[in-house]
Structure 1
Amino acid sequence: MTGRRCWKVIVAVAGAVVVAVVPAAWPAVGGAASGSGGHGPGRWTLVAHEGFDRPLKVDRTPWRLDPQGPRSPWHVDAFDDDGEAWRKISGSLFERRLATLNVFRKRVAFGRQGWLTAEIAAVDKDRDGRPDSRPGLSTAFLPDGQRVARISEPSWDAGVLIRPTRPLPPRYRVEMTLRGIDFGGQRGGRFDYGGKHNGYTKEPCKTRYPWTFQGALPGRSRCDYPDVTRENGFYYLTILDYATPAPHGNPGIHYRRKVIMDGYYSDDDRWKNAGTCDPRTRRIYRTFDGTFNGVNALFARGDRFREAANNNVSNEYYIKTACGNVSMDEPYGPGRRFHGHLASAELRPELLPKAAYRFAVERDRTGYTLEMSGPFRHIGQTTLRVHHRFVEDGRPIWHYNQTPGEYDGRFDRRLAHRGPAGTYTTEHSWPRGSAYPDSFIIGDPHLNYYEGSAHVDDIRLYVPQNDR
């Protein structure tokens, strides 16, 4: 790092505090630019850009067996795939379940100076030494010949992510452009199309095994675990609180998100009272009366957790939309008849790839802004933006602080995670002196959920012009 400024990022991992030194200055690749198309404060300087003009070589990289445990390159904390939390709440049953499979992975840097990293993972359920499917990130072409990146996940027991190789700067704007999405939701008013259901191929035994929020399920084998095919989705752009995101069992990521823009396409009965915003009329309608192609724009709360449903492993969310602001754990809308997710708008996948959607996250001195642009249902081409301060009306964004000086410890609390065999306790969920880097993800971070493909044709990182 000779000749370049550096800052220290202090990362909380498994109860410890680790100090890592990362480059403070990203190499500028362009002049001053308004990355937000005229929206947002000030002007931005483009410091990193990937247009996928050169062929990707990710799929040629050999698979590596994840050794699991604290020495694994993919280890994060107690809520890891084989983490202490799941062992504690499940006892030896979880270890026996986990012993029935292996996880194979790839970690491949790409882009100018390797500023992006692909994280690919797949389960080997029969332990024959090979992943059971071939997820990947490859070069594809739009009808006009333009190169794009294709995220391919042909089986639910795998995951594919794009993330930054280094943590993000203190202030930034990151954006991505979506040109195709096939991760479920309705098409032509139906969930069954293309020989699939909700984006899943129709083989049996597609379940959450072995990772659930409650730990291992006593008395249930792999195919007895809850089916996942009514729940598909995709992370358009989400900020996590650690430096090296990769696909894991789905409960873990729910404890690591700061702000979220994702699609969750589910007709599960749990969401029969969920709502979707019509940005044109600013009225809420039942998600079940839409096309199940909504975009969620969520701020993870640092002061509330989903104790009953998710065993304190998932934060509650605060949602800001053109139809108003709601807390996901409380009824909302006219007559307070809605409950659960409130989607900000609905995509129109049938317009892709001729049309495009752009998703962006900005972090400034005060908080985070979530932005989505494109031809949304009901309203047509528009840009939707919502901002939440780091602490707003006493409500904090989870783990917002990148440095210890940005936070005084006021929201620290003890969390109990109970399971059939015991309780794992997080003594300090957000202690004074901790800090959490920002890292974005695009794709699917789950090893036991989601299946499909997507096309991404542009990823850009900006910093404020006066930060150069």
Structure 2
Amino acid sequence: MATLNVYRKRVAFGSRGWLTAEVAAVDKNHDGRPDSRPGLSTVTLPGGQKAARLSEPSWDAGVLIRPTRPLPRHYRVEMTLRGIDFGGKRNGTFDYNGRHNGYTKEPCKTRYPWTFTGALPGKSRCDYHDVTRENGFYYMTILDYATPAPHGNPDIHFRRKVIMDGYYSDLPRWKRAATCNPKTRKMYRTFDGTFNGVNALFARGDKFIGGPDNDISTEYYAKTACGNASLDQPYGPGKRFEGHLTSAELQPQLLPKASYRFAVERDDTGYTLEMSGPFRFIGQATLRVHHDFIENGRPIWHYNQTPGEYDGRFDRKLVHKGPNGTWVTPHTWPKGSAYPDSFVIGDPHLNYYEGEAVIDDIRLYVPRKNK
């Protein structure tokens, strides 16, 4: 970590400052200036309407929008997407506008220094994993702490409760991943699509990826119009798919004339994820999925906002191992714990993702009895 500095800026905005923008950028050469200029600004759409332009010109930065205060017990929070350019294919190719998968083509774009096993001894920045085959965006995701801000990407893998994001990668490990056609309700290979999908995922609080020697993330449960799947197991007809199960594909070329809306609802029973817009194959549609806080014995990670909502039954230790040793987290979800809800929109990673998006109409609805 001594090889770089991170500069941060936090700005409240919106009605009565209910929203906060968190901006961060890396300074790799210690010259006292961020290496790029990420940010949030006002943009005018073709029809004259104002919206927010979230810009991240370099992967070694992050920009996100969050609520200034934690969300209430019951709520619906939503946002409208007017534009997206964070990778994926356009006209059948990852190469367009002088970029590859949304990244400019300079060398040495790696995940340094954050990995799931810690720093790599004897390795320089350019020896780390190249990130340009992985781009993405968080459309609406609920985290388990009050003040999210951009960090190295391993951090968020233990902080997400429910997720609506895009992850655009053609790495070989995803060659058996599937995407749902919401019109036919049949799955197809993600590699046969446009790499513009949206994932609707519930983080599991009872299973973890990478164990027992190195727990690197919660496991995930996906619900789609084509069926549901726990992503630690093969799924779909004949169990032919594995890995990510994507809910539907966006059509970025239709924006900003068209738009997409993403919403999360929390009630007494659990969380509902909703996405609306002109999806590939089906056109204009609203897709909704719900998961109880505990469903068939499967909990949503850190669902409880108060100690009284949870009895401690899913507490366990996690083991994190790397070249520099082993770290054990003895209690990950003990009785008496509590985890506020806070959403993020944008890119919470300081070592992944590059591009820009146009965001509008972030709204919070609360039932009258909770006001």
Report the TM-score range of the alignment, normalised by the length of the smaller protein: over 0.9
Q: Could you tell me how far apart the structure 1 residues matched to 2:365 and 2:212 are?
A: 38
Structure 1 residues 365-404: aligned runs within 5 Å:
365-404=268-307
Are residues 1:239 and 2:142 paired?
yes
CA contact (8 A) 1:306 1:312 kept: yes
Are residues 1:120 and 2:23 paired?
yes
Q: Which of 105, 124, 128 is the equivalent residue of 2:8? A: 105
Deviation at residue 141 of structure 1 after TM alignment: 1.1
Q: Could you tell me how far apart the structure 2 residues matched to 1:362 and 1:353 are?
A: 25
Q: Could you tell me how far apart the structure 2 residues matched to 1:272 and 1:310 are?
A: 26
Quick one: which amino acid aligns to residue 283 of structure 1? Answer: K
CA-based RMSD of the aligned residues comes to: 1.0
Q: Could you tell me how far apart the structure 2 residues matched to 1:421 and 1:190 are?
A: 40
Aligned to 1:155: 58
Deviation at residue 334 of structure 1 after TM alignment: 1.2
Aligned to 1:420: 323
Are residues 1:449 and 2:352 paired?
yes
Aligned to 1:251: 154
After TM superposition, the structure 1 stretch with the greater mean CA deviation from structure 2, 161-170 or 304-313, is 304-313
Aligned to 2:169: 266
Q: Which of 246, 259, 281 is the equivalent residue of 1:356? A: 259
Quick one: which amino acid aligns to residue 401 of structure 1? Answer: N
Distance 1:357 1:310, change over 3 A: farther
- Give the 3-state SS of the residue equivalent to 1:291 in structure 2: coil
Aligned to 1:315: 218
Aligned to 1:230: 133
CA contact (8 A) 2:137 2:353 kept: yes
Aligned to 1:345: 248
Q: Could you tell me how far apart the structure 1 residues matched to 2:48 and 2:358 are?
A: 13
In the comparison of the two structures, how many residue pairs are matched?
Answer: 371
4+ residue segments displaced more than 4 Å: none
- Give the 3-state SS of the residue equivalent to 2:30 in structure 1: coil
- Give the 3-state SS of the residue equivalent to 2:158 in structure 1: coil
Deviation at residue 176 of structure 1 after TM alignment: 0.2
Q: Describe the superposition over 1:55-111 as per-residue Cα deviations: whole angstroms up to 9, x where unpaired.
A: xxxxxxxxxxxxxxxxxxxxxxxxxxxxxxxxxxxxxxxxxxx10100000011111
Q: Describe the superposition over 1:158-200 as per-residue Cα deviations: whole angstroms up to 9, x where unpaired.
A: 0000000000000000000000000000000000000000000
CA contact (8 A) 2:180 2:246 kept: yes
CA contact (8 A) 2:213 2:319 kept: no
Aligned to 1:180: 83
Distance 1:273 1:309, change over 3 A: farther
Aligned to 2:181: 278
After TM superposition, the structure 1 stretch with the greater mean CA deviation from structure 2, 300-309 or 330-339, is 300-309
Q: Describe the superposition over 1:427-450 as per-residue Cα deviations: whole angstroms up to 9, x where unpaired.
A: 000000000000000000000000
Q: TM-score, normalised by structure 2?
A: 0.99
CA contact (8 A) 2:11 2:21 kept: yes
Deviation at residue 465 of structure 1 after TM alignment: 2.5
CA contact (8 A) 2:212 2:319 kept: no
Aligned to 2:93: 190
Unaligned runs of 5+ in 1: 1-97
CA contact (8 A) 1:214 1:310 kept: no
Aligned to 1:294: 197
Q: Could you tell me how far apart the structure 2 residues matched to 1:192 and 1:433 are?
A: 51
Aligned to 2:336: 433
Q: Could you tell me how far apart the structure 2 residues matched to 1:309 and 1:362 are?
A: 34
Quick one: which amino acid aligns to residue 363 of structure 1? Answer: R
CA contact (8 A) 2:23 2:64 kept: yes
Identity of aligned residues (%): 80
Q: Quick check: which one's strand share is greater?
A: 2
Quick one: which amino acid aligns to residue 417 of structure 1? Answer: H
- Give the 3-state SS of the residue equivalent to 1:416 in structure 2: strand
Aligned to 1:329: 232
Q: TM-score, normalised by structure 1?
A: 0.78
Deviation at residue 453 of structure 1 after TM alignment: 0.1
Aligned to 1:95: none
Q: Could you tell me how far apart the structure 2 residues matched to 1:421 and 1:132 are?
A: 29
Q: Could you tell me how far apart the structure 2 residues matched to 1:387 and 1:434 are?
A: 24
After TM superposition, the structure 1 stretch with the greater mean CA deviation from structure 2, 420-429 or 174-183, is 420-429
Are residues 1:407 and 2:305 paired?
no
Which of the pair has more CA radius of gyration? 1
Q: Could you tell me how far apart the structure 1 residues matched to 2:39 and 2:53 are?
A: 8
Q: Could you tell me how far apart the structure 1 residues matched to 2:74 and 2:173 are?
A: 37
Q: Could you tell me how far apart the structure 2 residues matched to 1:170 and 1:136 are?
A: 31
- Give the 3-state SS of the residue equivalent to 1:218 in structure 2: coil
Quick one: which amino acid aligns to residue 247 of structure 1? Answer: P
Quick one: which amino acid aligns to residue 215 of structure 2? Answer: N
Unaligned runs of 5+ in 2: none
Quick one: which amino acid aligns to residue 274 of structure 2? Answer: E
Q: Could you tell me how far apart the structure 2 residues matched to 1:192 and 1:367 are?
A: 41
Q: Which of 355, 359, 363 is the equivalent residue of 1:460? A: 363
